């Protein structure tokens, strides 16, 4: 049986790429009974009489998966935040970072719309970029309108499956169009009434960009920390994880415990106070989460 990769899911059909051809397939009923949904990025065994009529028979083991956006076997996440319109949000970026760190996906931070900033605001954004780079993250500053940073971002995509993820309106589709103009993806202006972008991407699809595949995903503005437990959270903040090795108590949650190296790091400036505040906010959210049965 042939083996391929799902590159698009739309209206109950899964489009499987194998040796230069794309086969339109349906999932077998057994997947519904097992409560398994094929995802874009899945490696699958399929059967097809022709390019229009095929069935997915088996989903190969995934190395990772995200449910929002629904995509599997991701090598890296390009986390897109706008510098302005909508305004840059460290708390939203940190929420994305926590989710991809938890799923063991390599993040690259991409800040868009740099051309719209005043000189003073640009200095503020660059200071944030330096802080995230000091933690160990890759940060790329871009402007799709001016072509800024595009050449620097392209090599990150080589030979990888990347997911482009970010809040609605941050310019994901514009950025992809700048990376590969013949995609001609739809873009839309920011809604002045709501202060956020209209959703222009309706489904998940792997697109060939540079020498890799990119998942352009529907925009969304809320990310729930559903699967992360309280004791797992600090590992999703690399600088907290590193500092926690020096905490007196194993399993320290960095709240009121004595001789906590994380709290000491905040005091000395080795850990940014806003990152620690976000950790506390997320920890509170996890602890207040209603149990699922």
Backbone angles phi, psi at 229, to 5 degrees: -95, 160
Number of separate domains in the chain: 3
Query: Is residue 12 packed enough to be buried (19+ CB in 10 Å), middle (13-18) or exposed (0-12)?
Result: exposed
- Residues 238, 101: contact at Cβ < 8 Å? yes
Residues 6+ apart with CB under 8 A from 193: none
Q: How far apart are CA 48 and CA 25, in angstroms?
A: 8
Residue 187 lies in a domain: yes
- Whether residue 274 sits in one domain with residue 170: no
Residue 293 lies in a domain: no
- Whether residue 150 sits in one domain with residue 16: no
Query: Is residue 142 packed enough to be buried (19+ CB in 10 Å), middle (13-18) or exposed (0-12)?
Result: buried
Which two tokens mark 48?
């097809």
- Whether residue 116 sits in one domain with residue 90: yes
Domain span including residue 52: 3-61
Backbone angles phi, psi at 96, to 5 degrees: -60, -45
Radius of gyration of the chain (CA): 21
User: Residue 218: what pLDDT?
Assistant: 61
User: Residue 110: what pLDDT?
Assistant: 98
Residues 6+ apart with CB under 8 A from 67: none
- Whether residue 32 sits in one domain with residue 134: no
Residue 223 lies in a domain: no
Residues 6+ apart with CB under 8 A from 151: none
Looking up residue 262, the CATH number of its domain turns out to be 1.10.40.50
Looking up residue 27, the CATH number of its domain turns out to be 2.40.50.140
Residue 224 lies in a domain: no
- Whether residue 100 sits in one domain with residue 200: yes
User: Residue 31: what pLDDT?
Assistant: 82
Residue 246 lies in a domain: yes
Peptide bond into 86 cis (omega under 30): yes
Q: How far apart are CA 81 and CA 8, in angstroms?
A: 25
Q: How far apart are CA 94 and CA 12, in angstroms?
A: 33
Question: Could you say which of 36, 61, 86 is where a domain stops?
Answer: 61
- Whether residue 79 sits in one domain with residue 205: yes
- Whether residue 84 sits in one domain with residue 49: no
- Residues 28, 55: contact at Cβ < 8 Å? yes
Question: Could you say which of 216, 238, 266 is where a domain stops?
Answer: 216
- Whether residue 202 sits in one domain with residue 80: yes
Looking up residue 209, the CATH number of its domain turns out to be 3.40.50.300
The DSSP letter of residue 16 is E
Residue 283 lies in a domain: yes
Q: Which whole-number Å values give the CA distances from 252 to 103, 232, 259, 273, 281, in the listed order?
A: 22, 11, 10, 18, 16
User: Residue 292: what pLDDT?
Assistant: 64
- Whether residue 125 sits in one domain with residue 205: yes
pLDDT tens, residue order, the chain (293 aa) = 899 999 999 988 999 999 999 999 999 877 877 888 899 999 999 999 899 989 999 999 999 887 767 889 999 999 999 999 999 999 999 999 998 899 889 999 999 999 999 999 999 999 999 999 999 999 999 999 999 999 999 999 999 999 888 887 888 889 999 999 888 766 644 333 333 344 344 578 898 999 999 986 665 444 678 789 999 999 999 999 999 999 999 999 999 999 999 999 999 999 999 999 999 999 999 999 877 65
Residue 225 lies in a domain: no
Question: Could you say which of 160, 181, 216 is where a domain stops?
Answer: 216
Residue 221 lies in a domain: no
- Whether residue 174 sits in one domain with residue 75: yes
- Whether residue 126 sits in one domain with residue 99: yes
- Whether residue 206 sits in one domain with residue 96: yes
Q: What residue spans of 238-272 are helical by DSSP H? A: 238-244, 261-268
């Amino acid at each position: 049986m042939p083996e391929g990769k799902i590159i698009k899911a739309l209206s109950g059909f899964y489009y499987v790429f194998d040796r230069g051809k794309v086969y339109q397939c349906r999932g077998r009923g057994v997947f519904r009974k097992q409560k398994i949904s094929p995802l874009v990025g899945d490696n699958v065994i399929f059967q097809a009489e022709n390019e229009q009529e095929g069935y997915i028979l088996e989903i190969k083991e995934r190395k990772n998966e995200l449910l929002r956006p629904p995509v599997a076997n991701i090598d890296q996440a390009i986390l897109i935040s706008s510098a302005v319109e909508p305004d840059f949000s460290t708390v939203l970026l940190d929420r994305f970072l926590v989710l991809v760190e938890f799923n063991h996906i390599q993040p690259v931070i991409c800040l868009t719309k740099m051309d719209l900033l005043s000189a003073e605001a640009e200095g503020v954004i660059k200071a944030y970029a330096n802080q995230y780079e000091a933690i160990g993250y890759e940060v790329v500053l871009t402007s799709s309108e001016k072509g800024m940073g595009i050449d620097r971002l392209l090599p990150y995509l080589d030979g990888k499956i990347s997911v482009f993820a970010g809040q609605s309106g941050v310019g994901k589709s514009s950025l992809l169009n700048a990376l590969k103009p013949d995609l001609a993806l739809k873009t839309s202006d920011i809604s002045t009434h709501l202060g956020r972008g209209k959703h222009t991407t309706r489904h998940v699809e792997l697109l060939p960009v540079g020498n890799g595949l990119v998942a352009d995903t529907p925009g969304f503005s809320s990310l729930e920390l559903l699967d992360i437990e309280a004791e797992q959270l600090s590992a999703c903040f690399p600088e907290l994880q590193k500092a926690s090795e020096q905490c007196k108590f194993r399993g320290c949650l960095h709240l009121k415990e004595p001789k906590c190296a994380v709290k000491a790091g905040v005091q000395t400036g080795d850990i940014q106070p806003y990152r620690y505040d976000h950790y506390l906010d997320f920890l509170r959210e996890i602890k207040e989460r209603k149990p699922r049965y």
